[in-house]
Amino acid sequence: MLGALLRSFRPSQWVKNVFVLAPLFLAQKLGESQALNIALLAFVAFCMASSAVYLINDIRDREQDRQHPFKRHRPLASGALSVRTAVVAAAALILATAAVGSRLGPLFLSIVFVYLGLNLLYTVRLKRVVILDVMIIAVGFVLRVAGGAAAIRVEISAWLFLCTIFVALFLAFSKRRHELIQLADSPSAQREVLHDYSAPFLDQMINVVTASTVISYALYATSPTTVAKIGTNSLVLTVPFVLMGILRYLYLIYQRAGDRSPTEALMRDVPFMINIFAWGVMVMWIVYGGGGDWSLLE
């Protein structure tokens, strides 16, 4: 039962909560032990909150999941985990989230409970509303960034906000496309909102948010505010890594689509992981090592 409960927490999805740590990294506070400890505590709070949401979602959708070729193996759908145990675990996670959140201040606590409330609404109703379902997912990522900033008491730039929401929309629309293709025989029977989507429409949405993601990141990297904050204009050198990551992701969902979700496919793709590691090293060098100034005109 313990193993089944842990699987229902979906620890593989905790990687999404890394967005909580973005303000710590970009605010150049990674070397401050107090700020680091607070940010990690905020990360833990969002992991517990997201696991509670996954449990509630699986409780509600367990009958529908039994008809899905892959979701039927989830503990609640397969019967490996009882509904009563899942309810108790979800309640305990929410209480633990509140306990941790209260230590990080009222603003953080408010943000994490907005995240919980929004995701509960998504589970109950909003995931059946076309476009809005994807927007809710994107807002969840923005709330992660806002929560991380509130915990360590720093501001987030407008460009970082835009980058976050466009990246989240890019991932969400890609996931919807994967589900639509994977469940071609009866997509709406597995996820009701898929009835209102089509592959051509999702391709158009992916095109829009792909361009928006790259442009917003490029503008963030070259923004005078960003340059002034980190003390160098070299962040523009990381734009090719972002472009490479997005193109690799598109390659995976269009040319190498498989049974795994796009997120799981990314985590197993060696070229993508090498690229994200190289991007992280480059950003670390620029933000914390000075990175020097760079210009084509010099």
pLDDT at 9: 84
Please report, for residues 53, 157, 164, 221, 237, the alpha-carbon distance to residue 234 in angstroms, rounded to integers and kept in the order given: 40, 18, 21, 8, 6
Report d(CA 151, CA 170) in Å as an integer: 27
Numbers of helices and strands, H then E, in the chain: 14, 0
**Confidence category of residue 145, pLDDT binned at 50, 70, 90:** very high
Report d(CA 29, CA 234) in Å as an integer: 19
Least confident of 71-80, 102-111, 232-241: 71-80
Domains of the chain: 1-156 (1.10.357.140)
Report d(CA 194, CA 180) in Å as an integer: 6
pLDDT at 116: 93
pLDDT at 96: 94
User: What would the pLDDT profile of 15-68 be if each residue is shown by its tens digit?
Assistant: 889 999 989 988 888 888 999 999 999 999 999 999 999 888 888 878 776 776
**Confidence category of residue 85, pLDDT binned at 50, 70, 90:** confident
Question: ∠ CA 14-188-85 to the nearest 5 degrees?
Answer: 45
Report d(CA 131, CA 29) in Å as an integer: 36
Report d(CA 212, CA 218) in Å as an integer: 10
Whole-model pTM: value is: 0.84
Structural tokens at position 159 = 């460009």
Report d(CA 133, CA 201) in Å as an integer: 15
